[in-house]
């Protein structure tokens, strides 16, 4: 039987909702998959899917990163990125953005979501970082050091991607670069893998995220 969430509502014995993921619920200008679902219920659903064997841990780009892929259970959730086509490429926008105040703004591009026919997500890619990695990243950024201690659960949910496939889509090239810059710049300290970077470029040459309004703030 699956364990019940803790009194905070955002923690089970396996997962907790990390602060970094909160923007997908709370930031109206977030560029990517928006989640309109009770946070505690979301964590509980992911927990139950994992415990039942429906959503096993899948290796990510580093030992501290895992994924669980669950069928989309959040009504109205759309994909976070769409393919660039001759019919919609004139709608692309570009500008500088940062995912948080601790990061340097970088150049990105996006589609205004109100101008695009956005498909419904059929799968959710729930991206996890180990508690130990999140502790290391907190320690490297002064503005994060005063936050309350992380829960004891081993895996923090750091991002959720709405998509139409049950496997990992490449992270953006700038995310790979930021990771290589190190924890002080909002990355993870993992060196660039040239093969993974090439796959990322190929994918993101043909896709762009969706943003509400003119202030991208995504992956």
Among the residues of 66-172, which ranges form H helices? 131-140
Is residue 16 within 8 Å of residue 158, measured between CB atoms? Answer: no
Instruction: Take residue 145 and report the two structure tokens written for it.
Output: 């050091």
58-to-68, 69, 161 alpha-carbon distances in Å? 6, 8, 15
Asked, for residue 187, whether it belongs to a domain, the answer is yes
Asked, for residue 2, whether it belongs to a domain, the answer is no
Q: Which residue has the tokens 């502790």?
A: 135
- What are the average pLDDT values for consecutive 10-residue runs of the chain, which has 219 residues? 49 95 88 90 97 97 96 95 96 87 86 91 98 91 79 96 96 91 84 95 94 62
Asked, for residue 217, whether it belongs to a domain, the answer is no
Q: Which residue has the tokens 């670069």?
A: 177
Q: What is the pLDDT of residue 185?
A: 82
Each residue's pLDDT tens digit, 142-182: 777 778 889 999 999 999 999 999 999 999 999 999 889 88
The model's pTM is: 0.87
Domain membership of residue 166 as a residue range: 15-211
CATH number of domain containing 31? 3.30.2310.50
């Amino acid at each position: 039987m699956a364990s019940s969430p803790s009194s905070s509502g955002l923690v089970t014995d396996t997962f907790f909702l990390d602060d970094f993921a909160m923007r997908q619920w709370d930031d109206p200008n977030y560029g990517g998959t928006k989640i309109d679902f009770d946070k505690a219920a979301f964590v509980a659903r992911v927990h139950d899917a994992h415990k039942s064997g429906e959503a096993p841990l899948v290796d990510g780009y580093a030992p501290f990163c895992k994924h669980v892929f669950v069928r989309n259970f959040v009504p109205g959730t759309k994909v976070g990125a769409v393919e660039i086509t001759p019919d919609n490429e004139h709608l692309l926008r570009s500008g500088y953005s940062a995912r948080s105040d601790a990061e340097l703004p970088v150049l990105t591009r996006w589609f205004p979501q109100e101008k695009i026919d956005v498909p419904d997500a059929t799968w959710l890619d729930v991206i996890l970082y180990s508690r130990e990695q999140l502790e290391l990243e907190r320690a490297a950024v002064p503005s994060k050091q005063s936050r309350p201690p992380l829960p004891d659960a081993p895996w923090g949910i750091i991002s959720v991607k709405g998509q139409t496939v049950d496997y990992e889509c490449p992270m953006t090239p700038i995310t790979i670069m930021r990771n290589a810059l190190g924890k002080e710049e909002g990355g993870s300290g993992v060196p660039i893998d040239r093969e993974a970077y090439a796959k990322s470029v190929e994918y993101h040459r043909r896709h762009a995220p969706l943003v509400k309004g003119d202030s991208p703030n995504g992956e």
